Structure 1
Amino acid sequence: MEKLARSILAPILSVLEWISAILIFVMMVLTFADVVGRYLFKAPIFGAAEMIQFLLAMTIFAGLSLVNAHDDHITVELFEERIRQRIPRLHRFLIQGFSVVAMALIAWQLAEYAVEAQERNSVTVVLEWPLSIVAGAVAGFSFISLIAQLLGLALPDRREPGTPVEDGL
């Protein structure tokens, strides 16, 4: 099962790494061009702030798949040690189960929002782009993130509390 999960997960994560890198690069170039245009030529790029907002949302949700697959979340350990001490065998199941349910709810709500935006023909405020495109992309990335998280569960638990994060699968 672990080998199958790795063989499916590795190409997905590789593509998402590239997508994230491209989105961040486009965001950087757009920000740079907007600042240069604004301050040197008194001509900012129309709608740059809105485009950057959309790029940021897509970058976050594309990158979330990488975080979910590697179980590299930032954690606040308020209850984890107590759960680990009292029911050590259920610890990973409870933590990962909660995380999967939360990601499923996020993906579902984003998908509903994208469908609603499509039905209402909602557009963005400045550029008047169809909101369903951006919402749909974010919803798609969140579903991919959920799949990556589920595939990551088939991998062995790589870390004990307090140990550094390992790179790669």
Structure 2
Amino acid sequence: MRNFLIKTERLVDSASLFFANVAAIILLALVALTCADVVGRYFFSSPVVGAVELVRICMAGIIFFSFPLMFLRNDHIIVDLIPLFRRGWMAWISTIVILCVTIIVAYKIGDRVADYAVRAFEDEDVTEYLLIPRWPIVGFISVSIFVAAATSALRLLMVLSTPGTIPKEDHEEGI
């Protein structure tokens, strides 16, 4: 069982890296767009039409396409107010509870976003200025959220397969 989970984790890691690379490409496009907008605005008095709209779309893409890799590698911000909960069996139990909550919340959010994507498709909803259809953007975001939920589920299976201990990447050095 553990071997199967490790192979699955490698496969999911590759898929998560794909989403992270998409986020990196979007970030590069955002930098190019911002540079073109600034140069056009200040040197030629001609800003990029719809730049604000494109920046919004890019920011959403960067955030949501980063989710799967962040959830898989447990790159969340953690504040240890009570260090007792990050050691031994308490760490194992608290990790399971947190992962269960994460899976449920990510699934619920993904479900709501997918509903919005379907409505945007049915209503032929477009952006305000550039008239870009919203459904493909929101659809990709919902897929990314569902993949993040699936990576959390895989992480939960990995934690459950090692009772009493949590995977190494959850431990901070010195704890």
Measured against the shorter chain, the TM-score band is 0.7 to 0.9
Q: CA RMSD in A?
A: 2.2
Hey, what does 2:164 align to over in structure 1? none
- The answer to whether the 8 Å contact 2:99/2:153 transfers is no
- The gaps in structure 1 that reach 5 residues or longer are 165-169
- In the alignment, structure 1 residue 112 sits paired with structure 2 residue 105: no
Q: Show structure 1 runs of 4+ deviating over 6 A.
A: none
- In the alignment, structure 1 residue 53 sits paired with structure 2 residue 56: yes
Cα distance, 1:162 vs. partner?
Answer: 4.2
Hey, what does 1:158 align to over in structure 2? 168
Q: Distance in 2 between matches of 1:145 and 1:137?
A: 12
- In the alignment, structure 1 residue 68 sits paired with structure 2 residue 78: no
Which amino acid in structure 2 is aligned with residue 130 of structure 1?
P
CA distance change for structure 1 residues 107 and 160 in 2, over 3 Å: closer, same or farther? closer
Aligned pairs, number: 162
Give the TM-score normalised by structure 2. 0.81
Superposed, which structure 2 residues align to 1:1-169 within 5 Å? 1-77=4-80, 81=83, 88=90, 89-155=92-158, 157-159=167-169, 162-163=172-173
Q: Distance in 2 between matches of 1:50 and 1:37?
A: 17
Deviations 1:116-160 (A, max 9, x none): 111222111111111112111211111122222222334452245
- Larger relative contact order (CA 8 Å, sep ≥ 6): 1
Give the TM-score normalised by structure 1. 0.84
Cα distance, 1:60 vs. partner?
Answer: 0.6
CA distance change for structure 1 residues 111 and 35 in 2, over 3 Å: closer, same or farther? same
Q: Distance in 2 between matches of 1:13 and 1:77?
A: 27
Q: Distance in 2 between matches of 1:163 and 1:107?
A: 34
- The answer to whether the 8 Å contact 2:72/2:151 transfers is yes
Secondary structure of residue in 1 paired with 2:168: coil
The alignment-based identity, stated in percent, is 26
